[in-house]
Chain A
Amino acid sequence: MSYSAPPLARRRAVAAGAAVVATLAIGGCGESAAPAASTDTLTEIDYYEAAPQNTKLPEILAACGTEAGVKIEHQQVPRTQFMPKLLQQASSRSLPDLALIDNPDLAQLAATGGLVPLSEAGLSTEGLFPSIVDAGRYEGKTYGIAPGVNGLALYYNKKLFTEAGLQPPKTWDELTTAAKSLTKGKRYGIAFSAVGTEEGSFQFEPFFWTAGASLKQLDSPQAVQALTLWKTLVDSGWASKSVVTWTQADINDQFMAGNAAMMVNGPWQLPTLNGNKDLEFGIVPIPIPSPTAKPVTPLGGEVWTIGHSTPEREKKAAAVLKCLLGQEKSLEWSKAAGYIPSNEAAAKQLAASDPQLAPFAEEVATALARTAELGTAYPKVSEALFNAIQAALAGGKSPQEALAAAQAAVK
């Protein structure tokens, strides 16, 4: 695809280079990702550091780039440095043409004004799950769309359940009963992550929302009910006290090591779990408080966004995005990365071919975006929520007290 640049473009590149050097010297905050003036190369950024995602994504990007007639420069940045990096790029007006960002961060980034509303770039959302399209909305406009999403479900150790003569739990009562009877010696009945980061809130939200609580009122009776469930599990010794320090990766290790009979986790753990041939496990949707309750899980996963540049570049980026979100590529990506495609047809196809993903696919239609209720206020409320969870599980506070303090903190 390489050809020698015409003199004018070359001169412009030199000028751009000089400008970059000048910015470096003056500003000291060196960032050389300024978009090139041409339209034959697009820049892309994401935070996938581990296989299979980090090997599959460049492959699919290259294929979609060829289809749209552009070359795509792929760049990956560790998760913890991802938002600072994007903010830095936003401040130098050099946001990449395509960025794959975590969906709760979208509202914040869209608020900067640096992202292009996808409809303006000429992208249609037909054939995609409405719940997923909603997750990418900010102030009435869609700024990001996930190629695939994930959610949470309950993993259970089949061998232990058969030995105990138990069925996988469907309701909270069945969950506590199962957790109780499967706790034995060094093994806990259940593991979940109540770590003091966004992960902790994400894990709690299926219980929180399914109980009927809203993030706008953290100390509602429904919220107290959900936190009481978690506190009962920890206080009774059916879940480890360490849940407040465990990330989702940690609980996956605990589950694989046989230290927990059940765990709350997402489909991205499947490649690792399936690699362990000795472990027989099943997956069911997250248990609900009563048989009539409507299950609601938080939407997880990353959304594609387009950064402001020139109309031609934005159009090219939209063309690439169309390919990425299409039935074929979104299926290919989701299969490799452990996601549920946002494309309804692809999701059906995948659920039919892979029964492991069926519980997750089932949840997508009713899943809720974390920023749906609060928009840019979400990070603050999420922090108050995971602090309340930790205060109740590790600090000896009652769920009522802890959630009331959280509600007072966000007021």
Chain B
Amino acid sequence: MPALVSARRTTPGAHAAGVRGRTLGARWAAFAFIAPTCLYVLVFYVYPLAGNLRMGFQDYTVKSFYTGVAPFVGWDNYRAVWQDPAFGGTVLNTVLFTAGSLAVQFAAGLALAMFFHRRFALNGVLRSLLLVPWLLPLVVSGTAWRWILETDSGVLNQTLGHPVPWLASTDLALLSVTLVNIWVGIPFNMVILYGGLQGIPAQLYEAAGLDGANAWQRFTRITLPLLRPVTVVVLTLGLIYTLKVFDVIMVLTQGGPADSSQTLTTFSYDLSFQQLAFGRGAAVGNILIVVAVVFAFVYLRATRDAEGRR
């Protein structure tokens, strides 16, 4: 990637005269090449996004689908969502789910990445096996986890010898869906961090070793600082992915029992497609979009910094 970037940077100077000499036709051709992408973005991203933003300010009911009439109601939907007795708990669930998933996924991913960074037999085989959770469709792994966590006949409780209501208790349901989501997310963290580790020159460790640094010092003084750009990328991307997690929760608990594992994503679905209050569902969706956009900017900044540094 850095090689490509620098190559592009040197180009303009070398070919400046050629660019200026381009005919009008060539410029039109350039537009024609860009047009499909622009059209695609407009139709499949901008249009639905604008529609969702607008819907958040409308009293959009089932009737609106047929008549096309949906009166604008200002901030009423947002107010209704704010005052919904389920909203506070849902936000807290979302924060706990996201923070818990990210922290453990990252720690486990980093530990595994460090482990696989050493050379040993079957390294490649084991590493690819760890990717399995990532390869499986979430509905499939979610259903398997539902069986594993079943209170009476699930494998986990059979092993424990004690009927723990993993998915059937309001105290444990959020923890259970978070654990499953962590399992799903570890491979992603491991792969990216493993790539980051390979980018750290081995000489640094050799030099530190000669200076008498122990393993912990080498980790905190070399590995962590040099992994920082990658870490920011992993965490921001992870955050955006985790915020929008839907299938895991839907398959495992449907946000229940009694909303105890409801996050903003499932809440939005619930408002729109269970209660058929599309305006409020869109409002919750918009809140999520704002949060995701903020972190997307963090991500873009971080990647730009990372590229700039090299």
Seen from chain A, the residues whose Cβ lies within 8 Å of a Cβ on chain B are 28, 83-84, 87-88, 90-91, 93, 108-109, 111-114, 186, 195-198, 240-245, 259, 376, 379-380, 383, 387-388, 390-391, 393-397, 402, 405, 408-409
Contacts and interface: CB of A to CB of B under 8 A. Distances in A.
Contact of A196 (B85, B165, B257, B277): B257
Contacts of A397: 258
Contacts of B155: none
A245 B253 contact: yes
B62 A109 contact: yes
A394 B44 contact: no
A58 to B, nearest CB: 28
Contacts of B146: 245
Interface centre among A88, A387, A388 (most CB of B within 10 A): A387
B257 A391 contact: yes
19 contacts: A28-B43, A91-B65, A91-B66, A111-B62, A111-B63, A186-B152, A186-B153, A197-B274, A241-B163, A242-B165, A245-B150, A259-B153, A380-B277, A387-B258, A388-B258, A394-B168, A394-B258, A395-B171, A409-B84
Contact of B44 (A28, A91, A376, A380): A28
Contacts, number: 115
B65 A112 contact: yes
Contacts of A376: 62
Contacts of A395: 169-171, 257-258, 260
Contacts of B44: 28
A162 B226 CA distance: 73
B256 interface: yes
A405 B85 contact: yes
A113 B67 contact: yes
B193 interface: no
Give me the 8 closest cross-chain CB pairs, A-B, nearest first. Answer: A196-B256, A112-B66, A395-B170, A390-B257, A391-B258, A394-B257, A390-B258, A91-B65
Nearest to A393: B257
B31 interface: no
B256 to A, nearest CB: 3
A114 B66 CA distance: 6
A135 to B, nearest CB: 18
* Category for how many chain B residues contact A: 35 or more
Contacts of A196: 253-258
A93 B163 CA distance: 52
B14 to A, nearest CB: 42
A197 B254 contact: yes
A87 B65 contact: yes
Given A113-B66, A394-B169, A379 B152 contact: no
Nearest to B42: A28
B219 interface: no
A227 B163 CA distance: 24
A203 B166 CA distance: 23
B18 interface: no
B194 to A, nearest CB: 37
Interface in B126-165: 146, 150-153, 163, 165
Interface string B246-267: 0000000111111110000000
A244 B152 CA distance: 13
B68 interface: yes
Contacts of A90: 62, 65-66
Contacts of A408: 85
B276 interface: yes
Given A28-B44, A394-B257, A395-B258, A242 B150 contact: yes
A340 B47 CA distance: 47
A8 B290 CA distance: 53
Given A241-B168, A396-B170, A113 B63 contact: yes
A112 B152 contact: no
A390 B256 contact: yes
Contacts of B152: 186, 240, 242, 259
Interface string B195-239: 000000000000000000000000000000000000000000000
A279 B86 CA distance: 43
Given A108-B62, A196-B255, 20 more contacts: A28-B43, A90-B65, A93-B66, A108-B276, A113-B67, A195-B256, A196-B253, A196-B257, A197-B274, A240-B151, A241-B165, A242-B152, A242-B165, A245-B253, A388-B258, A390-B258, A391-B170, A394-B165, A394-B256, A409-B86
